Amino acid sequence: MLKLYNSLVRDKQEFVPIEPGKVRMYVCGMTVYDYCHLGHARVLVVFDMVARWLRASGYQVDYVRNVTDIDDKIIRRALENGEPFTRLTQRFIDAMHEDSAALGVLPPDHEPRATEYVDKMQAMIGTLIGNGHAYAASNGDVYYAVQSFPEYGRLSGKSLEDLRAGERVDIDPSKRDPMDFALWKAAKPDEPSWASPWGPGRPGWHIECSVMGSDLLGPHFDIHGGGQDLQFPHHENEIAQSEGAHGCKFVNYWLHNGFVRVDDEKMSKSLGNFFTIREVLEKYDAEVVRFFILRAHYRSPLNYSDQHLDDAKAALTRLYTALRGAEAAAWTIAWDDPHAARFKAAMDDDFNTPEALAVLFDLAAELNRAGTAEAAARLKALAGVLGLLQREPEAYLQAGAETGGLTAERIEALIAERLAARKAKDFKRSDAIRDELKAAGVLLEDGPQGTQWRRL
């Protein structure tokens, strides 16, 4: 029985899909005006894990992750660069795809771009105006009238009065209520725009996801996900728009992943404490970063530091070392197997990846003791559900930048020289080679199969 923590009710609930055997899931994707940072990496990896587990559980999953390719930040950056906004967004969409592929993230089934849906956004805005949920203002903008939707605030757990009191909203004389939000923004000089019944302009951010989600998944679907920071106002506004336009429940289960933190502060560009995925991958193997993200429960804060990444690297190395030299038999996961059953119980409990990873370490310990092909197969198969341990162990253990100018070929040559020195009982030279390699970040491990090496 799969249970999800539903932000809408602030509790775990048994997952019951709208259509038996099928899951329709929408996740808010990236606003593409810069390289993705580690917070984006968490969203990418977490919901890739969710989709993988749903499929491993036998569901047919239709997974949508959108791209916001028109937005205030995009327009501002394009103007700063003196380039068309479409060139800017395409460059960072390509970079996002490279980063997500490096992290082992499978492509979503659909990746709609906001600019492809402007006509349908205008249609939904027209519907909202027609049924009294929106109005065209004197400044050329179109606003959603929050007072027209009595349940506004239920996702964030606050009443409209609480939200008004807690939010600093600039007074805009064109709005009927300070909390009203833009569905359509009138064009400003030098901005891209589209013709509309309300004059040239562009869509507001919130309407994008309501339209793309309902167009691809229907007006009522199973799961909507995103970062915790989107819960209010973005997801709150999506509910108001979608239910106001379609007259039915929008989403059954809302999933939100926790923040990435640096020195106990939320990682953000405004604080200058953010790291792009590319910067992190210059120092750490991409699978280490994926493991680091999955090592924490998706709803908990993820504390970034070199020490935590180093710990993740050491832990992943232990798993790959256990597989080293083991011939993994072909094994189709049998969920009644004791280890698989524990893994499944953890994942069915709101995607408890820390507990699922603990099962992998138990299997690695068993593999180190017994060294059976069956144990290796179990470890590799269960890890594969999380997108881990699918490389040949040597490829992971010996991967990384050359240290001290030592290529793999040079390391093998030094190992051969060390073996010759040992045969000649020249232990001083043998020890010197080991020390030289260790100083260069290469660890030698002598065993029954000879000398193996890995990068530290």
Which residues carry a binding-site annotation for ATP? Answer: 269
Do 211 and 120 meet the contact criterion of CB atoms below 8 Å apart?
A: yes
Q: Interior CA angle at 43 toward 241 and 348, to 5°?
A: 95
SS3 at position 290: helix
Contacts of 186 (CB under 8 A, 6+ apart): 139, 140, 141, 198, 199, 200, 201
CA atoms within 13 A on the CB side of 48: 23
Strands 450-455 and 442-447: antiparallel
At residue 444, φ and ψ (nearest 5 deg) are -95, 140
The 3-state DSSP class for residue 364 equals helix
User: Identity (one letter) of the amino acid at 165?
Assistant: A
Cα Rg, the chain, nearest whole Å:
26
The annotation places the binding site at: 28, 209, 234, 238, 269
Rounded to 10 degrees, the C-alpha dihedral 141/206/252/42 comes to -170
| Burial class of residue 253, CB neighbours in 10 A (0-12, 13-18, 19+) | buried
Phi, psi (degrees; rounded to nearest 5) at 3: -120, 135
- φ and ψ of 38, to 5 deg: -65, -30
Give me the amino acid identity at 195: A
Sequence-distant (≥ 6) Cβ neighbours of residue 241 within 8 angstroms: 124, 128, 133, 144, 183, 206, 207, 210
Cβ burial of 447 (10 Å; 0-12, 13-18, 19+) is: exposed
Distance CA 439, CA 456 (A): 10
Q: Binding-site residues for Zn(2+), please?
A: 28, 209, 234, 238
304 backbone φψ class: left, alpha, beta (φ>0; ψ -120 to 50): beta
